[in-house]
Amino acid sequence: MTNPNKGYTVAPPYGQGSYTNENFPLSAQTQVVGINSNGSPTTVGFWVDNAGNNFGFVNQGSTFTSISDPNTPAGTGFNQLLGVNNNNVAVGFYIDANGDSQAYSYNIATATFTAIKLPSTFNPVMTTATGINNAGEISGFYIDGAGNAHGFLDNAGTFSIFDDPAGAGTNTSFLGLNNEGEVVGSYVDQLGITNGFTFNDVTNTWTTVDDPNASSTAAFDVTGTTINGVNDIGQLVGFYSDGNNVDGFLASPVPEPASLGYVAAGLLLSACIYRRKRPHRCQNRASECKEHHAGTARSRFALRR
Protein backbone atom coordinates (compact mmCIF):
# COMPACT_ATOMS: atom_id res chain seq x y z
CA MET A 1 0.00 0.00 0.00
CA THR A 2 1.48 3.32 -1.13
CA ASN A 3 1.57 6.20 1.39
CA PRO A 4 -0.85 4.73 3.95
CA ASN A 5 -2.59 7.02 6.44
CA LYS A 6 -1.23 6.86 9.97
CA GLY A 7 -2.91 8.19 13.10
CA TYR A 8 -1.64 10.53 15.80
CA THR A 9 -2.69 12.87 18.58
CA VAL A 10 -1.12 16.25 19.23
CA ALA A 11 -1.10 18.30 22.43
CA PRO A 12 -0.26 21.95 23.21
CA PRO A 13 1.92 23.75 22.27
CA TYR A 14 1.35 21.87 18.98
CA GLY A 15 5.02 21.74 18.05
CA GLN A 16 6.88 18.93 16.32
CA GLY A 17 7.63 17.37 19.70
CA SER A 18 3.93 17.33 20.65
CA TYR A 19 2.87 14.46 18.38
CA THR A 20 2.12 10.92 19.58
CA ASN A 21 1.59 8.10 17.11
CA GLU A 22 -1.73 6.29 17.50
CA ASN A 23 -2.33 3.34 15.21
CA PHE A 24 -4.60 0.33 15.61
CA PRO A 25 -2.40 -2.76 16.09
CA LEU A 26 -1.45 -4.50 12.82
CA SER A 27 -3.58 -2.08 10.78
CA ALA A 28 -2.65 -1.07 7.26
CA GLN A 29 -4.04 2.41 7.87
CA THR A 30 -5.45 4.31 10.86
CA GLN A 31 -7.26 7.63 11.16
CA VAL A 32 -7.97 9.20 14.56
CA VAL A 33 -11.11 11.33 14.11
CA GLY A 34 -12.56 12.14 17.54
CA ILE A 35 -11.32 12.79 21.07
CA ASN A 36 -13.11 13.77 24.27
CA SER A 37 -11.83 15.99 27.10
CA ASN A 38 -11.83 13.51 29.98
CA GLY A 39 -8.77 13.38 32.22
CA SER A 40 -7.71 10.25 30.36
CA PRO A 41 -9.11 11.04 26.91
CA THR A 42 -10.92 8.49 24.79
CA THR A 43 -10.17 8.61 21.08
CA VAL A 44 -12.20 7.12 18.25
CA GLY A 45 -11.72 6.70 14.53
CA PHE A 46 -11.30 3.89 12.06
CA TRP A 47 -8.68 1.47 10.85
CA VAL A 48 -8.20 -0.37 7.57
CA ASP A 49 -6.97 -3.93 7.13
CA ASN A 50 -4.85 -5.25 4.27
CA ALA A 51 -8.00 -6.18 2.31
CA GLY A 52 -9.28 -2.61 2.46
CA ASN A 53 -12.05 -3.19 5.01
CA ASN A 54 -12.83 -0.31 7.38
CA PHE A 55 -13.57 -0.81 11.08
CA GLY A 56 -14.32 1.70 13.79
CA PHE A 57 -12.12 1.75 16.88
CA VAL A 58 -12.11 3.03 20.44
CA ASN A 59 -8.86 3.71 22.27
CA GLN A 60 -8.97 4.03 26.07
CA GLY A 61 -5.67 4.18 27.90
CA SER A 62 -3.81 2.66 24.89
CA THR A 63 -6.26 -0.26 24.81
CA PHE A 64 -7.79 -0.52 21.35
CA THR A 65 -11.18 -2.08 20.63
CA SER A 66 -12.42 -2.70 17.09
CA ILE A 67 -16.03 -1.61 16.51
CA SER A 68 -18.49 -2.83 13.86
CA ASP A 69 -22.24 -2.30 13.93
CA PRO A 70 -23.91 -5.75 13.96
CA ASN A 71 -26.03 -4.73 10.95
CA THR A 72 -22.91 -4.42 8.80
CA PRO A 73 -23.18 -6.98 5.95
CA ALA A 74 -20.80 -9.91 6.29
CA GLY A 75 -17.75 -9.69 4.08
CA THR A 76 -18.25 -6.02 3.20
CA GLY A 77 -16.91 -4.42 6.36
CA PHE A 78 -17.14 -0.64 6.44
CA ASN A 79 -17.55 1.15 9.77
CA GLN A 80 -16.21 4.49 10.94
CA LEU A 81 -16.53 6.27 14.29
CA LEU A 82 -16.36 10.05 13.88
CA GLY A 83 -17.03 11.60 17.29
CA VAL A 84 -17.16 10.88 21.04
CA ASN A 85 -18.39 12.85 24.05
CA ASN A 86 -17.29 12.94 27.69
CA ASN A 87 -19.91 10.30 28.55
CA ASN A 88 -18.04 7.92 26.23
CA VAL A 89 -20.82 7.71 23.70
CA ALA A 90 -19.51 7.65 20.13
CA VAL A 91 -21.22 8.17 16.78
CA GLY A 92 -20.47 7.02 13.27
CA PHE A 93 -21.87 4.98 10.42
CA TYR A 94 -21.69 1.70 8.54
CA ILE A 95 -22.34 0.83 4.89
CA ASP A 96 -25.35 -1.40 4.29
CA ALA A 97 -25.97 -4.06 1.62
CA ASN A 98 -27.16 -1.36 -0.82
CA GLY A 99 -23.95 0.63 -0.41
CA ASP A 100 -25.68 3.34 1.64
CA SER A 101 -24.34 4.83 4.88
CA GLN A 102 -26.43 4.29 8.01
CA ALA A 103 -25.79 6.32 11.17
CA TYR A 104 -25.57 4.95 14.69
CA SER A 105 -24.41 5.76 18.20
CA TYR A 106 -22.26 3.44 20.29
CA ASN A 107 -22.19 3.36 24.10
CA ILE A 108 -18.63 2.38 24.93
CA ALA A 109 -19.35 1.33 28.54
CA THR A 110 -22.18 -1.04 27.62
CA ALA A 111 -20.98 -1.93 24.09
CA THR A 112 -24.45 -1.21 22.69
CA PHE A 113 -25.41 0.19 19.29
CA THR A 114 -28.40 2.44 18.61
CA ALA A 115 -29.56 3.24 15.08
CA ILE A 116 -30.07 6.92 14.23
CA LYS A 117 -33.13 6.98 11.99
CA LEU A 118 -34.30 10.23 10.42
CA PRO A 119 -38.05 10.67 9.79
CA SER A 120 -39.23 9.24 6.50
CA THR A 121 -40.63 12.68 5.61
CA PHE A 122 -37.03 13.83 5.15
CA ASN A 123 -36.62 11.22 2.40
CA PRO A 124 -33.25 10.02 3.72
CA VAL A 125 -31.26 7.52 1.66
CA MET A 126 -27.83 7.78 3.29
CA THR A 127 -27.19 9.09 6.82
CA THR A 128 -23.89 9.88 8.58
CA ALA A 129 -23.51 10.92 12.23
CA THR A 130 -20.44 13.10 12.68
CA GLY A 131 -20.39 14.44 16.25
CA ILE A 132 -22.03 14.25 19.68
CA ASN A 133 -21.80 16.72 22.56
CA ASN A 134 -22.07 16.09 26.28
CA ALA A 135 -25.83 16.71 26.25
CA GLY A 136 -26.18 13.91 23.71
CA GLU A 137 -27.08 16.19 20.78
CA ILE A 138 -25.85 14.64 17.53
CA SER A 139 -24.72 16.37 14.34
CA GLY A 140 -24.57 14.84 10.90
CA PHE A 141 -25.75 14.97 7.33
CA TYR A 142 -27.88 12.90 5.02
CA ILE A 143 -28.44 12.40 1.30
CA ASP A 144 -32.02 12.56 0.10
CA GLY A 145 -33.66 10.75 -2.82
CA ALA A 146 -32.64 13.53 -5.21
CA GLY A 147 -28.97 13.19 -4.24
CA ASN A 148 -28.82 16.42 -2.22
CA ALA A 149 -26.97 16.66 1.11
CA HIS A 150 -28.49 18.37 4.17
CA GLY A 151 -27.18 18.91 7.69
CA PHE A 152 -29.13 17.61 10.64
CA LEU A 153 -29.25 17.81 14.42
CA ASP A 154 -30.71 15.05 16.59
CA ASN A 155 -31.80 16.30 20.01
CA ALA A 156 -33.10 13.29 21.97
CA GLY A 157 -34.90 11.97 18.92
CA THR A 158 -36.20 15.34 17.67
CA PHE A 159 -34.62 15.93 14.27
CA SER A 160 -34.02 19.27 12.54
CA ILE A 161 -32.58 19.63 9.04
CA PHE A 162 -30.56 22.58 7.78
CA ASP A 163 -29.25 24.11 4.56
CA ASP A 164 -26.75 26.96 4.69
CA PRO A 165 -28.59 29.99 3.23
CA ALA A 166 -25.46 31.03 1.30
CA GLY A 167 -25.30 27.69 -0.50
CA ALA A 168 -27.00 26.29 -3.56
CA GLY A 169 -29.35 24.21 -1.40
CA THR A 170 -27.88 20.96 -2.60
CA ASN A 171 -24.86 20.31 -0.37
CA THR A 172 -24.69 21.27 3.31
CA SER A 173 -22.93 18.99 5.79
CA PHE A 174 -22.79 19.30 9.58
CA LEU A 175 -19.39 17.85 10.54
CA GLY A 176 -19.07 18.60 14.27
CA LEU A 177 -20.48 20.48 17.25
CA ASN A 178 -19.47 21.64 20.72
CA ASN A 179 -21.23 22.09 24.06
CA GLU A 180 -22.01 25.77 23.43
CA GLY A 181 -24.55 25.42 20.62
CA GLU A 182 -22.02 25.87 17.82
CA VAL A 183 -22.02 23.57 14.78
CA VAL A 184 -19.43 23.51 11.98
CA GLY A 185 -19.29 22.05 8.51
CA SER A 186 -19.23 22.94 4.84
CA TYR A 187 -21.55 23.95 2.03
CA VAL A 188 -21.18 24.25 -1.73
CA ASP A 189 -22.00 27.65 -3.23
CA GLN A 190 -23.54 28.59 -6.56
CA LEU A 191 -20.12 28.38 -8.23
CA GLY A 192 -19.51 24.85 -7.00
CA ILE A 193 -16.88 25.92 -4.43
CA THR A 194 -16.79 24.42 -0.94
CA ASN A 195 -16.99 26.92 1.92
CA GLY A 196 -16.61 26.35 5.66
CA PHE A 197 -19.18 27.65 8.12
CA THR A 198 -20.20 27.89 11.74
CA PHE A 199 -23.84 27.77 12.79
CA ASN A 200 -25.01 28.92 16.21
CA ASP A 201 -28.10 26.91 17.09
CA VAL A 202 -28.92 29.25 19.99
CA THR A 203 -28.91 32.54 18.04
CA ASN A 204 -29.72 30.98 14.64
CA THR A 205 -26.65 32.63 13.07
CA TRP A 206 -24.83 31.25 10.04
CA THR A 207 -21.28 32.44 9.41
CA THR A 208 -19.07 31.60 6.44
CA VAL A 209 -15.43 30.91 7.35
CA ASP A 210 -12.94 30.58 4.49
CA ASP A 211 -9.19 30.32 4.82
CA PRO A 212 -7.67 33.34 3.01
CA ASN A 213 -5.28 31.02 1.17
CA ALA A 214 -8.04 28.73 -0.07
CA SER A 215 -8.32 28.17 -3.81
CA SER A 216 -11.17 27.23 -6.12
CA THR A 217 -8.65 25.05 -7.97
CA ALA A 218 -9.00 21.45 -6.84
CA ALA A 219 -6.14 19.64 -5.12
CA PHE A 220 -6.75 15.92 -4.56
CA ASP A 221 -10.45 16.52 -5.31
CA VAL A 222 -10.66 19.23 -2.60
CA THR A 223 -11.69 22.83 -3.32
CA GLY A 224 -12.17 25.75 -0.97
CA THR A 225 -12.43 25.33 2.81
CA THR A 226 -13.96 22.69 5.08
CA ILE A 227 -14.42 23.09 8.86
CA ASN A 228 -14.73 19.72 10.57
CA GLY A 229 -14.23 20.41 14.28
CA VAL A 230 -14.89 23.01 17.00
CA ASN A 231 -14.12 23.02 20.73
CA ASP A 232 -15.88 24.81 23.57
CA ILE A 233 -13.78 27.98 23.27
CA GLY A 234 -14.61 28.33 19.59
CA GLN A 235 -11.36 27.14 18.05
CA LEU A 236 -11.87 25.58 14.63
CA VAL A 237 -9.98 22.87 12.79
CA GLY A 238 -10.27 22.01 9.13
CA PHE A 239 -8.53 21.93 5.79
CA TYR A 240 -8.45 23.74 2.47
CA SER A 241 -7.06 23.49 -1.04
CA ASP A 242 -4.30 25.95 -1.92
CA GLY A 243 -4.54 24.88 -5.56
CA ASN A 244 -1.70 22.35 -5.33
CA ASN A 245 -1.97 20.74 -1.90
CA VAL A 246 -4.50 20.16 0.86
CA ASP A 247 -3.47 21.97 4.05
CA GLY A 248 -4.82 21.70 7.58
CA PHE A 249 -5.31 24.63 9.94
CA LEU A 250 -6.26 25.62 13.47
CA ALA A 251 -8.23 28.88 13.69
CA SER A 252 -8.71 30.72 17.00
CA PRO A 253 -11.23 33.53 17.55
CA VAL A 254 -9.51 36.86 18.18
CA PRO A 255 -11.54 39.79 19.55
CA GLU A 256 -11.29 43.01 17.54
CA PRO A 257 -9.20 45.13 17.69
CA ALA A 258 -6.96 42.83 19.73
CA SER A 259 -6.22 40.89 16.56
CA LEU A 260 -3.89 43.71 15.55
CA GLY A 261 -1.68 42.80 18.49
CA TYR A 262 -1.26 39.27 17.20
CA VAL A 263 -0.10 40.58 13.85
CA ALA A 264 2.29 43.08 15.38
CA ALA A 265 3.81 40.46 17.62
CA GLY A 266 4.28 38.18 14.65
CA LEU A 267 2.75 35.26 16.55
CA LEU A 268 -0.27 34.44 14.41
CA LEU A 269 -1.77 35.74 11.22
CA SER A 270 -5.13 37.48 11.46
CA ALA A 271 -7.24 35.78 8.81
CA CYS A 272 -10.46 33.82 8.29
CA ILE A 273 -12.85 36.77 8.48
CA TYR A 274 -16.48 35.95 9.15
CA ARG A 275 -18.63 37.37 6.39
CA ARG A 276 -21.82 39.27 7.16
CA LYS A 277 -25.08 37.93 5.86
CA ARG A 278 -28.76 38.13 6.66
CA PRO A 279 -30.14 34.85 5.34
CA HIS A 280 -33.13 32.72 6.15
CA ARG A 281 -33.06 29.24 7.58
CA CYS A 282 -35.62 26.59 6.83
CA GLN A 283 -35.83 24.24 9.78
CA ASN A 284 -37.82 21.03 9.46
CA ARG A 285 -39.05 19.14 12.49
CA ALA A 286 -40.75 16.09 11.00
CA SER A 287 -43.12 17.59 8.42
CA GLU A 288 -43.10 21.09 9.98
CA CYS A 289 -41.12 23.83 8.22
CA LYS A 290 -40.57 27.18 9.88
CA GLU A 291 -38.74 30.19 8.48
CA HIS A 292 -36.48 32.24 10.71
CA HIS A 293 -34.27 35.25 10.24
CA ALA A 294 -30.65 34.51 10.90
CA GLY A 295 -28.53 37.06 12.72
CA THR A 296 -25.34 38.67 11.54
CA ALA A 297 -21.86 37.89 12.70
CA ARG A 298 -18.40 39.21 12.18
CA SER A 299 -15.28 37.97 13.91
CA ARG A 300 -11.64 37.30 13.23
CA PHE A 301 -9.61 34.16 13.47
CA ALA A 302 -5.89 33.72 13.86
CA LEU A 303 -4.54 30.75 11.94
CA ARG A 304 -1.92 28.21 12.84
CA ARG A 305 -0.58 25.78 10.31
DSSP notation for 61-125: TTEEEEE--TTSPTT--BEEEEEE-TT-EEEEEEE-TTS-EEEEEEETTTTEEEE----GGG-EE
pLDDT score of 257? 52
- 241 in any annotated domain: yes
Cβ neighbour number for residue 140 with a 10 Å cutoff? 31
Is residue 211 included in any domain, yes or no?
A: yes
Long-range contacts of 16-22 (CB under 8 A, 24+ apart): 22/59
20 lies in the same domain as 160: no
Looking at 85, 106, 141, which one is the last position of a domain?
85
163 and 282 together in one domain: yes
298 lies in the same domain as 172:
yes
CA 188/CA 194 separation, integer angstroms: 4
Q: Are residues 70 and 126 in the same domain?
A: no
User: How high is the pLDDT of residue 150?
Assistant: 97
CA 45/CA 136 separation, integer angstroms: 19
Is 300 inside a domain boundary? yes
* 160 and 35 part of one domain: no
φ, ψ (nearest 5 deg) of residue 74: -65, 135
- For the chain, the domain total comes to 2
Residue 95, in any domain of the structure: no
pLDDT of residue 266: 28
* Paired sense of beta strands 205-209 and 225-230, if any: unpaired
The predicted pLDDT at position 265 comes to 28
Report CA-CA distances (Å) from 144 to 141, 150, 188.
Answer: 10, 8, 16
Could you tell me if 219 and 154 lie in one domain?
Answer: yes
Task: Specify whether 124 is located in the same domain as 243.
Answer: yes
User: 144 with 283, same domain?
Assistant: yes
Beta bridge partners of 257: none
Both 81 and 166 in a single domain? no
In a domain, 206, yes or no: yes
**105 in a domain, yes or no?**
no
pLDDT of amino acid 3: 74
Considering the domain boundaries, does residue 103 fall inside one? no
From 70, 85, 100, give the residue that closes a domain. Answer: 85
Q: Which of 167, 177, 121 is nearest to 144 (CA)?
A: 121
Q: Which of 32, 62, 85 is the last residue of a domain?
A: 85
Q: For each successive 10 residues of the chain (305 residues), what is the average pLDDT?
A: 83 86 97 96 97 96 97 90 98 96 98 98 98 98 97 97 91 97 96 95 94 95 96 95 95 63 28 32 29 32 48
Q: Which residues contact 16 (CB under 8 A, 6 or more apart)?
A: none
Q: Judge if 142 and 267 occupy the same domain.
A: yes
Domain of residue 248: give its range.
116-304
pLDDT of res. 256: 57
Indicate whether 72 and 124 sit together in one domain: no
Strand partners, 159: 154
CA distance 271 to 299: 10
Could you tell me if residue 97 is inside a domain? no
- The model carries a pTM of 0.83
Task: Tell the burial category of 192 from Cβ atoms under 10 Å away from its Cβ (0-12, 13-18, 19+).
Answer: exposed
Q: Based on the domain organization, do 154 and 242 belong to the same domain? A: yes
